[in-house]
Amino acid sequence: MRFTTISEELAVTKLKKGIEREIEGYFESKGFSLIEPRIFQKYDEYVRSNFRQDSSKTVKVLSGNSRIFILRPDITTNVLGEIFSKWDGEPPLKVYYNSKIYLNKPGGKILENYQMGIESLGDDILDADKEIVEMATALMGTLGEPFILELGSSKYLDGFFREIAMNASDESEIRELISKKNRYSLRRKLQSLQIEGTILDFVLDMQGNMEEVIKMAYSHEINHEMKEALDELENLREFFTDKQMAKGIKFDLSMLPDLDYYDGIVFKGYCQSIPNKILSGGRYDRLTEEFGVRVPAIGFMIDMDLVTRIRNKGEK
């Protein structure tokens, strides 16, 4: 945020600090401990584990012996490195962070983005899904505006693509069209590949009301991985319906994760007055393998710059 007067800046900073304390208190009451990410990461390591990310967006720093480091562009992979160098998967670990990420912006500027978030490692999958998504919903609820939390699972489409023989470039084109919700080009692409009568014809209808989506999705499930994805979502649907928290939660099975490493539940939180996602998270068990032990892992981050903006508007 940009300020014209120092008093305005101090007032907003005070508000932000207050919100941070509130959220920190909430995380701690749920048994999460603060972890501080390192600011520098090795460039090669980052590129290796994030091969699909645009590494040109990372802010590079040269060390004294000309090694390339980057300022942390995301917090999850950063804290996992720290954690797995000292932890072998037991007992379950719950951490939260309150930090910044740095990315290059057009015009030579550097974006600093304030984020808070949590990671739950090694806990039972279904329990952790419930706990984390409930906490995400609770945080969205504190914004004082109508919100939507959209939930999907990367395993549903991954499971499908595993069943069908398709070259990598067609698959990535189809994924791109799905992620753009581009029904018409998707249909044309499928016709040109002569793939008809698969879930790809319906996947863009699988969004909205939880009950309708899950019912439809079950009728198109063709393997264990897809079923597992739906069982996990159904677990959440029942949980939220019982708790009467289902309002504002939508399913979207055509949602593709923003980050490579998600495999399972993915979710994003929106408020009507802000054109970007405020909260995002998901399950990333597969990523933990790269650190040596595969454990169940799920987490989310919330964009504190946006949260402050919304709450600041509400205060006025």
Partner 1 sequence: MDNITIAIAKGRLGEKGLELFKNTDMEIVREEDSRKLVFKDSKEKTTYIFVKPADVVTYVEKGVVDLGIVGKDVILEENKDIYEIMDLNYGRCRFVIAGFKNLYSVKKNDVLRIASKYPQYVQSVFENRDQRIEIIKLNGSVELAPLIGLSDVIVDIVETGNTLRDNGLEILEELDPISARLIVNKVSYRFKYETIQKIEKILGGE
Interface residues toward partner 1, by CB under 8 A: 146, 148, 150, 180-185, 207-208, 250, 270-272, 274-277
Q: For the CB of residue 217, give the shortest distance to partner 1 in the complex, in Å.
A: 17
CA distance linking residue 145 with residue 29, whole number of Å: 24
Classified as helix, coil or strand, 149 is strand
CA distance linking residue 181 with residue 159, whole number of Å: 20
Our CB check for partner 1 shows the closer of 249 and 297 to be: 249
Classified as helix, coil or strand, 287 is helix
What token pair was written down for 51?
Answer: 């091969």
Our CB check for partner 1 shows the closer of 104 and 182 to be: 182
Our CB check for partner 1 shows the closer of 193 and 274 to be: 274
Q: For the CB of residue 278, give the shortest distance to partner 1 in the complex, in Å.
A: 9
- Whether the CB-CB separation of 299 and 30 falls below 8 Å is answered with no
Our CB check for partner 1 shows the closer of 96 and 240 to be: 240
Q: For the CB of residue 213, give the shortest distance to partner 1 in the complex, in Å.
A: 12
Angle at 120 between CA 115 and CA 122, to 5 degrees: 155
CA distance linking residue 270 with residue 265, whole number of Å: 17
Our CB check for partner 1 shows the closer of 83 and 148 to be: 148
- Whether the CB-CB separation of 152 and 267 falls below 8 Å is answered with yes
Q: For the CB of residue 249, give the shortest distance to partner 1 in the complex, in Å.
A: 11
Q: Can you spell out the DSSP letters for 169-212?
A: HHHHHHHHHHHTT-HHHHHHHHHHHT--SSGGGTGGGSEESHHH
Q: For the CB of residue 53, give the shortest distance to partner 1 in the complex, in Å.
A: 15
CA distance linking residue 143 with residue 314, whole number of Å: 9
Q: What's the burial of 4, exposed, middle or buried (CB within 10 Å: 0-12/13-18/19+)?
A: exposed
Our CB check for partner 1 shows the closer of 225 and 303 to be: 303
Q: For the CB of residue 277, give the shortest distance to partner 1 in the complex, in Å.
A: 8
- Whether the CB-CB separation of 177 and 186 falls below 8 Å is answered with yes
